[in-house]
Structure 1
Amino acid sequence: MNPKVIIFDFDGTIADSLEVLVNISNRLAVQFGYKQTSIDELAQIQNLTSREIIKQSGISIFKVPFLVKKVKAELSSEVKSLSLFPGMKEALIELHGLGNKLVIISSNSKPNIVAFLEHNNLAEIFYYIYSGSTIFGKDKVINRFIRQENIDVDDVIYVGDETRDIESAKKSKVIAIAVSWGFNTKEVLAKQQPDFLIEQPSELIDILKKQEVTAG
């Protein structure tokens, strides 16, 4: 199998952090001037794009970076309690074992990500971890990483759980794999037309094998 560079989103793709993030977000609602999210409302907003969610929340776009920073700080005390999605650990280990370079690009903090990976004995298999304000700018981070590492764009795959992940992958002209077990629903992800839409982590290995056959 020809090795690939596989870039993963973190929250909602590797780590099942939705419930914790919603709880933190609700605690910060008054401070940042947006309404709290109920369980019923959560099911509804999972069918919205990231931009639609921000617009509906009523939060000022200028406050979003400060909110993200505060959420990351509060998450630090709970990150080790987060779970991996079923089958994800096995898929990551197999992908790494096949010689692929695994990368994480996330708006979560690097200490949070590293603490989670170390807790789950996965820190050593990741080649690179980028943390920053990437709410709507992951394509710029992806492009910079590709340039810095002198990687052929055809060898890069991006895996994420939100519409903005698919948008970023398309802007960077890399293969976009959307996962249905994270934040956005399968239906709203499908509307963004990712290259692949999967329902379980083991399908990542199947996709790479098909890519190898196609390339051959």
Structure 2
Amino acid sequence: MLKHRLLKEIKGCVFIKAIIFDFDGTLADTLPICFNAFQFVFKEFDNREITPEEIKTMFGPSETGIIRENLMNSNYDQAIEMYYQKYGDYHQDLVTENKEINDLLLYLKTEGYKLAIVTGKARRSLEISMDCLNMRDVFDVIITGDDVELPKPNPEGINKVLSILNIKNNEAVFLGDSDADIQAGLGAQVYTIGVQWLPNYQSLEFSVKPNQLVKSPSEFRELLIDII
């Protein structure tokens, strides 16, 4: 029975009950649309050309936090609205559904795992992406940058998921593509997996070593069988 396959042991004594994901660069190849929208904003309001690498250094807070902390022009509200407008307008052109990831999520749901997202994105942009990628009803818990006081690499978001699901840290796995993800996962003392399975991801090499590194969704499925 599939339900019974949920109850798989890790190290002989603990069961994995939840799979927690980062979003940008992990569940969806959304980094290009993030870069594009930020570049529009900084060009329009600061007359400044910024590179994707410069934008990556700003990651941590939500998009609204990034704009408020890094824009020299003080018209923050207008700049934030432009960001969301461009993010939505260009999403279909720059972001496509990934069948391997969709299949993985379906597999995990079928197996009975609880699924969660912990992302630095604001809820508004996450909802745009989830609508475009047909992910609306997949996840049991979603924690965005709007829902925490301290963004990743602080483990607050992951700890919130554990609390809401009422599970222990050794009953969850966290997957992410950035150093901040790995640090947050290790800080929350969950089994932490670095992923490099989309065309655009944040960390070529992790400064803090995750428990595992995987290069494809199918490799994660195999690893999940091995660690449980």
TM-score (norm 2): 0.71
Shift of 1:74: 3.7
Q: Is the 8 A contact 2:172 2:190 kept in 1?
A: yes
Q: Deviation string for 1:108-149 (max 9, x for gaps)?
A: 233443443344443222112222246435511211221233
Q: Is the 8 A contact 2:192 2:212 kept in 1?
A: yes
Pair 1:118–1:18, CA change in 2 (3 A): closer
For the residues of structure 1 that align with 2:46 and 2:188, how far apart are their CA atoms?
32
For the aligned residues, what is the CA RMSD? 3.2
Give the 5 Å matches for 1:51-70. Answer: 53-54=57-58, 63-64=69-70
Pair 1:126–1:112, CA change in 2 (3 A): same
Q: Give 2:88's aligned amino acid.
A: S
1:176 match: 192
Indicate the larger mover: 127-136 or 83-92.
Answer: 127-136
- Give me the identity figure in percent: 21
Q: Which has the larger radius of gyration?
A: 2
For the residues of structure 2 that align with 1:164 and 1:32, how far apart are their CA atoms?
28
For the residues of structure 1 that align with 2:111 and 2:211, how far apart are their CA atoms?
22
TM-score (norm 1): 0.75
Pair 1:143–1:87, CA change in 2 (3 A): same
Q: Give 1:113's aligned amino acid.
A: L
Give the 5 Å matches for 1:108-187. Answer: 108-133=121-146, 135-136=151-152, 139-180=155-196, 181=198, 182-186=200-204
Pair 1:111–1:21, CA change in 2 (3 A): closer
- Secondary structure of 1:176's partner? strand
For the residues of structure 1 that align with 2:134 and 2:164, how far apart are their CA atoms?
28
Pair 1:122–1:175, CA change in 2 (3 A): same
Q: What is the count of residue pairs matched by the alignment?
A: 196
Q: Is the 8 A contact 2:67 2:80 kept in 1?
A: no
Consecutive unaligned residues of structure 1, counting only runs of 5 or more, are none
Q: Is the 8 A contact 2:19 2:113 kept in 1?
A: yes
Shift of 1:184: 2.2
Q: Is the 8 A contact 2:19 2:172 kept in 1?
A: yes
